[in-house]
Amino acid sequence: MLFIDPCGMDTTANGNYIGADGLTDSQWLEASRPGASQGLAKYYRQQNNQFTSQQYQSKGHAEVGALLPGNWDSSDPSGQGVSDVSQAGLNFIAGYEGYSAITYKDVAGLPTIGYGHLIKLGESFGTLSKDAALKLLRKDASFAINAVNKYVTVSLTQNQFDALTSLTFNIGAGAFSNSTVLKNVNSGNILSIDKSFMIWNKIRIDGVLTPVQGLTNRRKAETNLFLNGDY
């Protein structure tokens, strides 16, 4: 049985109903089915409204409203979305970058310290604590934060912003701006998010793009962070 939006509806060319808040019947069914990802339902809701679960239930969306208790917007009471990486997000990135208290040379032979910080001309470090390295990482991640703010056109929760920042920090702002991850986020195509993240699990070896386990693990973790908020 289809879930029909009681607030009014229209039909698409293929006959799918569209509720007043922009969701097709198939999207409502997917978001409200038993065992549906809470992140999935929350994401669908975010692309159209900034309602609480109680407000959804009062509109008649009992199935979706019941998925999450309380106010779905508790992390974003303004309804405008977040615009900076959280400390948990920064720690998430740091966990994949690796830490060194002293200067070492990376695979390209460049002097590096902390969580992958490339030492610039004029910079000098002795022993770098983890706290100092995290502060340095936040500065280094500014390009990724700026890119997410620049290219994403929909409201994001903190975990979604952190996941996209991690991805962008790893692949670069240019790659992110042309990625299917970005296209799917901006279009609300949440069902393809996992596949679009996983495109970026490869490096070029002898001219051939080859999956790398470390990148595969990171992409899976970023997808889980984006969809479910698991740090």
Q: What is the pLDDT of residue 51?
A: 37
Domain residues of the chain, as ranges?
9-65, 87-228
Q: Is the pLDDT of residue 165 over 90?
A: yes
pLDDT for res 80: 61
| Res 45: pLDDT | 47
Check 30, 63, 97, 123 and give the catalytic one.
Answer: 97
Query: So what's the pLDDT on residue 197?
Result: 98
Model confidence at 5: pLDDT above 70: no
* Known catalytic membership, residue 97: yes
Please tell me which residue, 2 or 30, carries the higher pLDDT value. Answer: 30
The Cα–Cα gap between 83 and 69 comes to 25
Kind of pairing, strands 111-114 and 17-19? unpaired
- 50-95 pLDDT tens trace: 333 333 333 344 333 333 333 333 344 444 689 999 999 999 999 9
- Is the pTM higher than 0.85? The answer reads no
Share of the chain above pLDDT 90, in %: 64
Q: Is the pLDDT of residue 8 over 70?
A: no
Give the pLDDT of residue 81. Answer: 81
pLDDT of residue 107: 83
The answer on pLDDT for 114 being more than 80 is yes
As its CATH architecture, domain 87-228 has: Orthogonal Bundle (1.10)
- Residue (of 69, 56, 70, 52) closest to 28 by Cα position: 56
pLDDT greater at residue 174 or residue 18: 174
pLDDT of residue 198: 98
pLDDT band (50, 70, 90) for residue 37:
very low
Q: Is the pLDDT of residue 133 over 60?
A: yes
Is 162:95 a contact under the CB 8 Å cutoff?
A: no
